[in-house]
Amino acid sequence: MGAPRIAVAVVTMGNRPEEVDALLRSVAKQDVPPERIVIVGNGCPLPEFARRLSLPGEVTPIELDENLGCPGGRNAALARLREFGDIDVVVDLDDDGLLVDADVLRRVQELYAADERLGIVGFRIADELGETQQRHVPRIGNSDPLRGGYVTGFLGGGHALRMAMLDQVGDWPAEFFFAHEETDLAWRAADAGWRILYAPELLLQHPKTSPARHAIYYRVNARNRVWLARRRLPLALVPVHLGVWVLLTLARNRSRAGLRAWFGGFVEGVRESAGERRPMRWRTVWRLTRLGRPPVI
């Protein structure tokens, strides 16, 4: 079997032209070029630079009529890549990220070539000063961001996905729009026996941000948390998972408006359909627990 063929996918809302330009130039400097690059304008026209930059591989622009959210935009990229039928691994990069090193795609290729059951590879996210926020480390507690290994989840900002895994477990949950879509996908992958690797040597430079910068954050965070539990957890763990997160939210959030929006989203998640219910097996619960993060935290 030859080296896995890699594509790069970027979803943008058109409001970061300079950042996307810098990101694409960092992709162009990779010592192993991607076979294809898909750039999705999520409810927006793509800036002209995305059409005229000299980039390796075949560049495919997609302009969606409406903003489908991050998972919906990434699904549009996956659909186009499946039409081509020549890609083994897709690397998703946030439109305001930057590949500092020139060997990132080569390292991704080597990791997938060495392990046929490797489904997801998570990158390390660090700001311009090299600092990684704790929420970007896929482990509980104050874990060292430079310690790699097998984990239970991954970061949406920079990661790689095996297409064969997606063909088996399904694509991104587009109805989530934003928040917890990575966990939904990770739990499905783990339940199907795929491995998730956190590889801190794969660095995506990304500005330091707070998820609460998005106006819809509190509402969709709570709604999707309920949907996630209803869709993926054994019935006995649903109230445990949600109870833990209610307590954590009350302990962490000091904003009355934020709490009001969060509990409004929580009620929305209970009342509205969560979509398909495909709970993980108990042996997957145990596997995630042994990896350091039981699916109730």
Domains defined along the chain, listed by start: 6-209 (3.90.550.10), 213-280 (no CATH)
- DSSP H helical ranges for the chain: 17-28, 49-52, 69-84, 104-114, 163-169, 181-191, 217-232, 238-252, 256-271, 282-290
pTM: 0.94
Under DSSP, is residue 189 helix (H, G, I), strand (E, B) or coil?
helix
Q: Which of 218, 185, 194 is nearest to 115 (CA)?
A: 194
What pLDDT does 167 receive?
A: 98
**Is there a contact between 225 and 245 (Cβ–Cβ < 8 Å)?**
yes
CB 122 within 8 A of CB 85: no
For residue 12, give the nearest of 80, 68, 88, 78 by alpha carbon: 68
Alpha carbons 190 and 287: distance in angstroms, whole number: 8
Per-residue confidence of the chain (297 residues) as pLDDT tens digits?
A: 589 999 999 999 988 989 999 999 999 999 999 999 999 999 999 877 555 566 777 889 999 999 999 999 999 999 999 999 999 999 999 999 999 999 999 999 999 999 999 999 999 999 998 899 888 899 988 889 999 999 999 999 999 999 999 999 999 999 999 999 999 999 999 999 999 999 999 999 999 876 655 558 899 999 999 999 999 999 999 999 999 999 999 998 888 888 999 999 999 999 999 999 999 999 999 999 999 999 998
- pLDDT value of position 2: 80
Tell me the three state secondary structure of residue 122: strand
